[in-house]
Amino acid sequence: MRELDEFDHVMVLRPPRFGKSLLLSAVKHYYDINSKDQFATLFGGLAAAKGEDERRNKYHVLHLDLSLAVRASSDLDAMEVLLNKKVNQAIAETAAHYGLTVAIDAVESTVSLLNFAAVIKDVPNVDHRRLLVVIDEYDRYANKLMFEHPAAYAKLVRGTSGQPLSSPVRSLFETLKSIEGLVDYRTFTTGITPLALADASGANNIKNLTFASTFADTFGLTDDNIVQALNDIGQTDRGAQQHILVIMRSYYNGYTFARSTRLVYNTTLCLFFLDKYNADAEFRQAVHLMAPDAALPDIRLIDENVKLSSNVVEVAKLVRFMPALCDELLENVSIPVASTQLSGSIRSSDLVAQPDFVAEDDLAAAQAESRLNVLSFMYYHGMVTFAVPPTVPSVTSSSSSAAAAAAAIAVPSSSLHLKIPNRLVRQNLYAALRGCLRSQYGVVHSMLRSPTVESVRSYLESTLDTIRTPTNRSSDESGAQRVLEMHLRLVMLNSGNFHLWIADGAGVQQGVSRPDLVILPADNKSLVHIELKVLRPHGLDARCKQSDSAIEALKKAISTETTEQLRERNYTEQFGSFRSYKVWVLENETRLKSERIYLPLLRREFPGRVIYSFTAIIMGDSVLVSQVCP
């Protein structure tokens, strides 16, 4: 508690169901004037009770719980009324708790808040002219509306730029910031992400201590906590306890918060498991019989009412490179982050609104920033966590050094890596990916049933449009290949009627890369081979650098078509005079490579299959497909 005294206005963010409300309850009773007689009962034997703290039990505490039960279909005006009503109700109940009389404005709860502060300012005991406002789940309703109902989110949260009172949330935090004249005035806010505060732009006085060492191990449960809980419900057998711990670690453990020295469990989900284990004999029996690494199709280890991070699913539908990023996480133990810190302040537009075109010089930075913002969003929601406890310099108790650490919102590490914390989150990510890619399954199966230029183009264009961000439209062939392979692997998880073939290099000529995409339908009758080339946006607008001699040499090397047939393709009319040569060269270089290298390889590897081979030139949103064989 004493560490909170370094800052007047503090915010701490943690994923859903990690005990934030419980912490706020402890803070409330620690500082509440009217809880003085209960202090020994509540805090006796704890570190918070040791030593002297002149602020202990010296505040009027206003507890604002902003966890509104709103739906995307709710009327916007009704939502605003509900928010005002909830704030007014909290003020009225707090005033009654302290025996104070406060004028409540039924229309504008911010007026009621200022009235409440004015009453505190005039209490007879000067030393009691102190106010602590604790704000629980400040962004719960905002997270619900952010992507499901952007209009409601804009009205309730974002408001209008340059107009501080243009939304209820902006008005609330602007009002909290304006309170003055008290002996001591402080706020403590909890939530999941910084998005709503960043969008509201009304809380620039708040110190974000999310990554401060003070709170590294404050949230979540440890192995010792689980063992103690098992003892409390009568399960004292050491062997059974270890078996249960292995299962719970697999599904609920694995979280490492900034500057943390240990892995922690999701609090609420562990309590759900323990309650069910204690009360449900069938569940208890199933837990004891299951293998530690087994999946659990017949018993639920998660309460349907506390499913993880539904907002991440909504983001997955809107952020085009989210599936590729999730696939990277699912395929690797951990992934690197090209930064020494996560994003401490993200706006919702930073996640989904990206430029249509990024200059080549700025491409890497734009991609890294987009990736960092989305990974930070996933971290806040508990979908990823730090792969190892980051090595950081210790923070001294001096105000200046602590303030610097808080202001940076940093995790100072030369090698910042993130990972999926546990099996439950992994299942959620798979579900999110299935949801955002389900509409693409049909185009894959249509292509495999009837491999034609049209079906291949339809598959490539629709898939790339769904899962690529505009910034990585400038990526090369390997980037497009990775994206398409990821998509196909996800479709495979849900169908199983085809698989990908990856050449091991034994049959590929030295110095030549493997075939880009080889898809093998389960009927063993055919295969689809696609060679990719990417013409970047800057390349489309540049003068062709191919010399006449190089073009003539390529013409001579091609044996499948005459020069007249090639000229009949009329690229100039479709793409422009300078682009035409470039597209023509790329397509025919790719065709030649397929005919002379990849087709012989595929015929050796799969002698009984009919080979459908295509070249695909990807140009921004368009794909030019040509059939090589049959």
Q: What confidence tens digit (pLDDT) does each residue in 292-326 have?
A: 766 654 456 665 555 545 566 666 666 666 666 77
- DSSP β-bridge partners for residue 190: 12
Q: Name the more confident of 524 and 149.
A: 524
More confident site: 94 or 472: 94
**Structural domain contains residue 101:** yes
Q: Are strands 526-534 and 517-521 parallel, antiparallel or unpaired?
A: antiparallel
pLDDT at 560 over 50: no
> Which long-range contacts does 50-53 make (Cβ < 8 Å, 24+ apart)?
51/2, 53/1, 53/2, 53/5
Of residues 442 and 396, the one with the higher pLDDT is: 442
Is residue 506's pLDDT more than 50? no
Q: How far apart are CA 501 and CA 425, in angstroms?
A: 29
Please determine, for residue 361, whether its predicted confidence score (pLDDT) is greater than 80: no
Residue 528, beta-bridge partner list: 519, 612
Q: 547 to each of 25, 541, 592, how far by Cα in Å?
A: 74, 17, 19
223 part of a folded domain = no
- The answer to whether residue 303 is domain-embedded is no
> Is 623 in a helix, a strand, or coil?
strand
| Residue 11, domain member (yes or no) | yes
- Give the Å distances, CA to CA, from 160 to 74, 164, 328, 332, 355: 21, 8, 37, 42, 22
**What is the Cα–Cα distance from 581 to 539, expressed in whole angstroms?**
12
- pLDDT of residue 530 exceeding 90, the answer is yes
Average pLDDT score over residue span 158-178: 78
Q: Which residue has the higher pLDDT, 216 or 614?
A: 614
Within 10 Å of residue 217's Cβ, how many Cβ atoms?
14
pLDDT of 419: 92
pLDDT of residue 514: 80
Q: Which of 154, 184, 208 is the last residue of a domain?
A: 208
Residue type at position 557: A
pLDDT of amino acid 566: 45
Output the average pLDDT for the chain: 76
- The predicted pLDDT at position 316 comes to 60
What band does 151 get if pLDDT is binned at 50, 70 and 90? confident
Residue 134, pLDDT above cutoff 70: yes
Q: How confident is the model at residue 500 (pLDDT cuts 50, 70, 90)?
A: confident
- Contact between residue 426 and residue 332 where contact means Cβ atoms under 8 Å apart: no
**CA 122, CA 584: separation in Å to the nearest integer?**
82
Least confident interval from 43-47, 136-140, 249-253: 43-47
The mean pLDDT value for 30-36 works out to 91
**Could you tell me if 29 and 35 are in contact, meaning their C-beta atoms sit under 8 angstroms apart?**
yes
Between 404-418, 470-484, 609-623, the lowest mean confidence (pLDDT) is in: 404-418
Q: What is the pLDDT of residue 14?
A: 92
When pLDDT is averaged across residues 252-262 and rounded to a whole number, the result is: 82
For residue 585, tell me if it sits in a domain: yes
Confidence class for position 236, pLDDT limits 50, 70, 90: very high
Domain count, the chain: 2
Task: Tell me if the pTM is above 0.75.
Answer: no
> Residue 610 falls within a domain, yes or no?
yes
**Cβ burial, residue 327 (10 Å; 0-12/13-18/19+):** buried
| Over residues 228-238, mean pLDDT | 94
Strand pairing of 610-619 and 622-629? antiparallel
Instruction: State residue 302's pLDDT score.
Output: 61
Q: How crowded is residue 455: how many other Cβ atoms within 10 Å of its Cβ?
A: 21
List all residues 6 or more positions away from 211 whose beta carbon is below 8 Å from its beta carbon.
257, 258, 259, 341, 342, 344, 405, 409, 410, 411
Determine the average pLDDT of the residues in 254-264: 82
| Lowest-pLDDT choice from 132-141, 272-281, 306-315 | 306-315
AA letter at 550: A
Q: Evaluate whether residue 513 is within a structural domain.
A: yes
**Domain final position from 163, 193, 208:** 208
Cα separation, 231 vs 378, whole angstroms: 34
Mean per-residue pLDDT, 459-485 = 64
pLDDT at 242 over 60: yes
The pLDDT of residue 70? 65
What was the pLDDT predicted at 232? 95
**pLDDT at 46 exceeding the cut of 90:** no
Where does a domain end: 178, 208, 238? Answer: 208
Helices (H), 468-575: 477-495, 537-541, 548-557, 563-567, 571-575
Does 247 fall in a domain?
A: no
CA distance 180 to 171: 16
Could you give the CA distance from residue 331 to residue 333 in angstroms, rounded to a whole number? 7
d(CA 555, CA 566): 9
Q: What is the mean pLDDT of residues 24-34?
A: 92
Burial degree of 557 (CB within 10 A; 0-12, 13-18, 19+) = exposed
Single-letter residue type at 297: P
The predicted structure's pLDDT at residue 296? 53
Locate tokens 């990526």: which residue?
475
Q: For 331-359, write each residue's pLDDT tens digit.
A: 788 888 877 788 877 777 777 655 444 45
Average pLDDT over residues 239-260: 89
* CATH number of the domain bearing residue 51: 3.40.50
CB atoms within 10 A of CB 47: 9
Comparing 266 with 316, the larger pLDDT belongs to: 266
What range defines the domain where residue 113 resides?
Answer: 2-208
Residues 6+ apart with CB under 8 A from 292: 243, 246, 247, 250
Residues 362-387 have pLDDT tens digits of 656 777 788 888 888 889 989 899 88
